[in-house]
């Protein structure tokens, strides 16, 4: 067996570098799986062990060195994640706040309810010491449109509510507290009071101000129906896109066209690269003096860097720029640009800069698509398999790339967003070529010609392309059965899918097909997923009980985000009001539902319901959003214990209810510092 292993490793020579980001990601994932926070001393010890392992690996035989280097990279990834988490530490609001809020505008977007949201830094809160004041806060503006229109760099003030970032809506769910920690976002909230301008100086927000000016200029020159779409794909500003357009793009699996990521950056770089190379070739004196291919790579790299700045430099855009820069640099170094090694380099750089990106759907889906595309087209090239006659190859290449990218990203999209778009392939086949041949080239030409005031024609062409894409999205999203919903899988499914697919793609020789076993196992585990019988929100404001007809919710309104998340995780297409109609009895703030094999599930909402409550019996489960000193005869959940436990899931069994809390699953990490301690 040892001999077979050594032979297998030796067969991977020349391809082992492709596993560097995989091992690095293994260490990063291990860090985030911990239920306790590693101390600085422990991180230093792990790094020392990694350095020692690297010294041991140097000069060893290939098989031994490969294992030691794998261990070194895992330990390095673990340390990188810990150091990054420590380095972004910033105060988090530890209580609910209501009062004056002042700060400088550094971000503008829209919430799920279509309200304008401002992100503020240099924050000032009344009676809150600077050392306890969050570095950033995000406020949704629900006031009438008669206040100050927020602009980048403005110092503004309002009166509003703030609270700490919320934890998972259910045990094992998405942890917004962790997400906010790495954004240095210490509080979120809302205001019903109009903003007032305290200072209009732009200060250090000049790039954001430039983006918003460009966004406004584009919107004023484009037809209203596509103005928001145009601003999003050029400057990253999504604040002008209607919710209807967003939803149709999501259902048709075209929402990725909004995010400035690998597709946009790649199309931009490809167009600039091709245009410069053709331009050099048609000027003979220039063509004989310079290397047109390398000159085109330099100009494309500069254009990509400019796009990174203009589009706001979001995490997804940074990741796309790194991938593009690696491939263009490979051209400058006379290396093959589209190779698995180039993808591995890009992934390693991204994970080193932002280890937390590993957990995001953007990183997972973009690298899944890129890795699969490079592997498939590389295999076709190496085996000299043509994609049909010459005249048909551009069409077949689009079909193959859309199919491969769709299949590669579908499992991750389903795991993160709980739906499958059934018309995603035809929608992308009809839209992506338009984006690459019409929208992106027209946008580049508009940017160049705007210096001469001649941008009107390319902007009109760009508008036609965007109108076509929105029409495609509207058509496919309106078809019956355009999407189906799937249940959120257990925690082991995603790692198994990722590792199985990487094994198939990266490993050499026939043993690579062993990765299919991981994929099959992941599918089996996903199909066996069991959802909790009872879910309780972390405030006690909403309760959900699984019935034969789906989850019943205790309230038709309120806690909308929690309700929507629960139903999506169940794989249900129903809304909160529909789910609330399945609840047996609800009146005057008290909702009661029988639990099969147990007693009753009772939800009390408000002080009146609590004061009028007559009591419960053993076997009942009581949930209330009000503090009470009464010791109930049944198992109860209220603000006192939910503050410690977080959201709660309960599984009903013959032996009694099994309670699992969000805090039990996630443990106590840096981003949970504001939570009270639990004895559990």
Question: pTM to 2 decimals?
Answer: 0.87
Kindly give the pairing relationship between strand 419-421 and strand 483-485.
Answer: antiparallel
Interacting residues of 285 by C-beta distance below 8 A, sequence separation 6+:
none
What is the pLDDT averaged over residues 5-32?
Answer: 83
Structural domains in the chain, sorted by start: 2-87 (no CATH), 97-204 (2.40.50), 233-485 (no CATH), 493-527 (no CATH), 534-672 (no CATH)
Cα–Cα distance, 579 to 673 (Å, whole number): 35
For residue 203, give the DSSP letter: T
What is the pLDDT averaged over residues 41-61?
Answer: 81
What is the pLDDT averaged over residues 611-633?
Answer: 89
For 650, the token pair is 């309960």
What is the pLDDT averaged over residues 303-316?
Answer: 80
- pLDDT per residue as tens digits for the range 246-295: 889 989 988 888 777 767 788 888 889 998 999 998 888 888 888 989 99
Cα–Cα distance, 21 to 80 (Å, whole number): 13
pLDDT band at 534 (very low <50, low <70, confident <90, very high): very high
**Residue 88 CA from chain centroid, whole number:** 19
What is the pLDDT averaged over residues 21-26?
Answer: 95
pLDDT value at 106 more than 80:
yes
pLDDT value at 136 more than 70:
yes
Average pLDDT, the chain: 87
What is the pLDDT averaged over residues 157-161?
Answer: 94
Asked whether the beta carbons of 197 and 150 are under 8 A apart, the reply is no
Q: In what order do the strands lie in the sheet with 621-624?
A: 585-587, 590-594, 600-604, 621-624, 635-637
What is the pLDDT averaged over residues 187-210?
Answer: 78
Cα–Cα distance, 234 to 251 (Å, whole number): 22
Cα–Cα distance, 603 to 591 (Å, whole number): 5
Asked whether the beta carbons of 555 and 605 are under 8 A apart, the reply is yes
For 422, the token pair is 């059934």
- pLDDT per residue as tens digits for the range 624-670: 999 888 888 899 999 989 998 999 999 998 888 899 999 999 988 99
What is the pLDDT averaged over residues 441-451?
Answer: 86
pLDDT band at 147 (very low <50, low <70, confident <90, very high): low
Q: Which residue has the tokens 């001649």?
A: 454
- pLDDT per residue as tens digits for the range 201-230: 654 456 777 777 888 888 888 998 899 888
For 449, the token pair is 């010609």
pLDDT value of residue 679: 40
pLDDT value of residue 157: 93
pLDDT value at 1 more than 60:
no
What's the CA angle centered on 20, arms 19 and 22, to 5 degrees? Answer: 65
pLDDT value at 5 more than 60:
no
pLDDT value of residue 588: 65
Whole-number percent of the chain with pLDDT over 70: 92
- pLDDT per residue as tens digits for the range 480-512: 889 999 999 998 999 999 999 999 999 887 788
pLDDT value at 680 more than 50:
no
- pLDDT per residue as tens digits for the range 266-280: 888 888 999 899 999
Cα–Cα distance, 678 to 641 (Å, whole number): 9
Highest mean pLDDT among 192-206, 394-408, 641-655: 641-655
Cα–Cα distance, 505 to 91 (Å, whole number): 43
Cα–Cα distance, 650 to 170 (Å, whole number): 10
pLDDT value at 587 more than 70:
no
125: left (phi over 0), alpha (psi -120 to 50) or beta: beta
For 72, the token pair is 């070194």
User: Measured in Å, how far apart are the chain's first and last C-alpha atoms?
Assistant: 45
pLDDT value of residue 288: 81
Q: Which residue has the tokens 């027209």?
A: 442
């Amino acid at each position: 067996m040892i001999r077979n292993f050594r032979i297998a490793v030796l067969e991977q020579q020349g391809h082992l570098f492709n596993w560097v980001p995989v091992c690095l990601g293994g260490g990063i994932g291990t860090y985030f799986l911990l239920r306790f926070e590693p101390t600085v001393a422990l991180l230093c010890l792990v790094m020392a062990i990694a350095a020692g392992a690297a010294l041991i690996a140097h000069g060893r035989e290939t098989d031994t060195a490969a294992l030691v280097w794998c261990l070194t990279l895992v330990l390095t990834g673990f340390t990188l994640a810990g150091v990054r988490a420590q380095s972004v530490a910033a105060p988090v609001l530890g209580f609910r706040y209501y009062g004056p809020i002042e700060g400088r505008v550094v971000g503008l977007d829209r919430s799920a309810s279509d309200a304008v949201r401002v992100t503020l830094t240099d924050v000032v809160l009344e009676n809150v010491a600077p050392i306890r004041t969050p570095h950033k806060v995000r406020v949704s503006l629900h006031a009438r449109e008669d206040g100050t229109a927020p602009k980048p760099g403005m110092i503004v003030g309002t009166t509003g509510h703030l609270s700490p970032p919320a934890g998972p809506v259910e045990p094992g769910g998405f942890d917004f507290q962790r997400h906010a920690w790495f954004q240095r976002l210490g509080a979120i909230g809302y205001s019903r009071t109009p903003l007032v301008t305290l200072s209009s100086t732009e200060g250090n927000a000049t790039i954001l101000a430039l983006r918003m000016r460009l966004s406004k200029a584009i919107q004023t020159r484009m037809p209203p129906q596509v103005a928001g779409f145009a601003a999003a794909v050029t400057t990253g500003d999504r604040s002008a896109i209607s919710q209807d357009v967003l939803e149709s793009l999501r259902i048709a699996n075209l929402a990725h066209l909004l995010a400035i990521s690998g597709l946009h950056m790649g199309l931009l770089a490809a167009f600039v690269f091709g245009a410069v190379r053709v331009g050099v070739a048609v000027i003979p004196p220039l063509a004989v003096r310079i290397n047109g291919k390398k000159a085109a790579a330099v100009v494309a790299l500069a254009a990509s860097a400019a796009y990174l700045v203009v589009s706001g430099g979001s995490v997804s855009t940074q990741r796309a720029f790194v991938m593009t820069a690696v491939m263009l640099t490979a051209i400058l170094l006379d290396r093959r640009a589209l190779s698995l090694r180039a993808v591995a380099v890009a992934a390693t750089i991204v994970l080193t800069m932002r280890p937390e990106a590993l957990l995001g759907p953007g990183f997972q889906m973009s690298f899944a698509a890129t890795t699969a595309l490079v592997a498939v087209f590389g295999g076709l090239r190496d085996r000299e398999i043509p994609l049909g006659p010459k005249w048909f190859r551009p069409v077949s290449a689009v079909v193959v790339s859309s199919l491969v990218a769709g299949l590669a990203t579908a499992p991750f999209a389903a795991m993160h967003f709980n739906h499958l778009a059934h018309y995603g392939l035809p929608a992308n086949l009809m839209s992506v070529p338009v984006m690459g041949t019409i929208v992106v080239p027209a946008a580049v030409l508009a940017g160049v010609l705007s210096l001469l005031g001649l941008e009107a024609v390319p902007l009109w062409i760009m508008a036609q392309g965007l109108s076509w894409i929105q029409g495609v999205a509207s058509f496919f999203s309106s078809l019956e059965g355009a999407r189906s919903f799937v249940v959120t899988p257990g925690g082991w499914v995603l790692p198994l899918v990722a590792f199985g697919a990487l094994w198939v793609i990266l490993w050499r020789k026939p043993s690579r097909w062993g990765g299919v076993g991981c994929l099959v196992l992941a599918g089996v585990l996903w199909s066996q997923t069991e959802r909790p019988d009872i879910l309780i929100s972390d405030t006690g404001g909403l309760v959900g009980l699984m019935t034969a007809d789906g989850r019943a919710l205790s309230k038709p309104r309120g806690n909308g985000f929690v309700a929507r998340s629960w139903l999506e995780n169940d794989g249900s297409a129903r809304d909160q009001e529909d789910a609330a109609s399945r609840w047996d009895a609800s009146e005057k703030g008290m909702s009661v539902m029988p639990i099969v094999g147990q007693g009753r599930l009772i939800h009390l909402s408000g002080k009146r319901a609590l004061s009028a409550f007559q009591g419960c019996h053993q076997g009942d489960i009581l949930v209330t959003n009000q503090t009470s000193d009464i010791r109930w005869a049944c198992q109860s959940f209220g603000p006192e214990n939910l503050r410690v436990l977080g959201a709660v899931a309960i599984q009903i069994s013959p032996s009694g209810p099994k309670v699992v809390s969000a805090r039990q699953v996630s443990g106590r990490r840096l981003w949970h510092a504001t939570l009270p301690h639990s004895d559990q």
